[in-house]
Amino acid sequence: MIGHRGEGFKDLYRAIYPGLQRLFGTKQPVFLSTSSAWGVMEASIRNLVDREVLCCMCGAFSDNWFDVAKRCGKTAEPLQVEWGKHIDHKTVDRQLATGKFDTVTLVHNETSTGVMNPLPEICCILAKYPDVALIVDTVSSFSGVKIDMDSLGIDVMLTGAQKALALPPGFSLFSVSEKAFARAEKIPNRGFYFDFLEFKKQQAQWMTPSTPSIAHIHGLQSKLNEIFEEGLEARFARHARTNALVHDWVRRTGFEFFAEEGFRSKTLTCVKNNREIDVLEFARKLRNKHHLVIDPGYGKIRGKTFRLSNMGDETEETVAHLLRCLDDCSKR
């Protein structure tokens, strides 16, 4: 192990930095947070929300963010759509036109429902409201599809370790715009552990505010090497191909998609259990017989859906293998 206040750590942070900025599509600082993504999701609320936050809600993670905002003592309003539907940019526009809001939360890829929200369209709307800050959770889409923070005008972009990056859980990454730093300066009670300005000050010296999980950062360095060895465009193309394999399987086997057409995730598929199989038994069989794990649906759609991931390190070979094993387990 290396010391986190020594040259070894600074060299490590410095070494991974250009790759991180490239992945985020930003010239802004990229921060290392020793917390899971929720830490940064809560931090974004505490650092940015002054008047009122509009929480775009379309599934378990985005719905929960609204609750977190209220628990932080902030005034929050839900923009709720039915699970499986996407957040429509025109609705966001209508809400922002009221002038009530200074912050918006958006989950890009709603992992619970398999919906990928139309980020460019929503960002175009936000561009009309320069006083509103946009916080985007890219936990399950980061590095799977292209998301350029600066050109989209995102103010806080965050991701976790264990989803799209396929690293061990318990770590997250985020970047903050100049506008968001300026906002944070005026917000009291930001605390210490998640204070964006503290992160900024420390990053300028290649350090973190508190002791970081160095093991995660070594893992991240190795992951970045893999990512750039493959090439970003090739990585995106691989996700598109493996996603198409899963979609073909869904159609071929007579299942349906839980997410509406046109807004389906490129990194995971939420399959609607229209065939009314015993999803828990299906997942159990797959695990016992083939040592493969799928999720039998999240929260209120457990058993009514199941989810197939093609994010992270999955290849055409691993996904094709999974689909063959699913076929084997669904034989009547």
Ligand X SMILES: *Cc1c(COP(=O)(O)O)cnc(C)c1O
- Judged on CB neighbours under 10 Å (0-12, 13-18, 19+), 211 is exposed
CB-wise, 177 or 267, nearer to ligand X? 267
CB of 49 to ligand X, least distance (A): 18
CB of 142 to ligand X, least distance (A): 10
Ramachandran assignment for 299, one of left (phi > 0), alpha (psi -120 to 50 degrees), beta (any other): left
CB of 100 to ligand X, least distance (A): 25
CB-wise, 31 or 61, nearer to ligand X? 61
CB of 215 to ligand X, least distance (A): 17
What distance in Å separates the CA atoms of residue 125 and residue 137, rounded to the nearest whole number?
18
Q: Are 183 and 50 in contact (CB under 8 A)?
A: yes
CB of 135 to ligand X, least distance (A): 12
CB of 137 to ligand X, least distance (A): 5
CB of 61 to ligand X, least distance (A): 4
Note the residues at the interface with ligand X (CB under 6 A): 36-38, 61, 107, 111, 137, 139-140, 160, 163, 169
The tokens describing 188, both together, are: 């009291």
The tokens describing 63, both together, are: 């719905």
CB-wise, 38 or 206, nearer to ligand X? 38
CB-wise, 2 or 166, nearer to ligand X? 166
CB-wise, 311 or 329, nearer to ligand X? 311
What distance in Å separates the CA atoms of residue 164 and residue 185, rounded to the nearest whole number?
31
The tokens describing 210, both together, are: 């508190």
CB-wise, 37 or 92, nearer to ligand X? 37
Q: Are 56 and 104 in contact (CB under 8 A)?
A: yes
- Residue that is written with structure tokens 């830490």 in the block: 39
Cα–chain center distance at 182: 24
CB-wise, 156 or 329, nearer to ligand X? 156
CB of 282 to ligand X, least distance (A): 22
CB-wise, 48 or 164, nearer to ligand X? 164
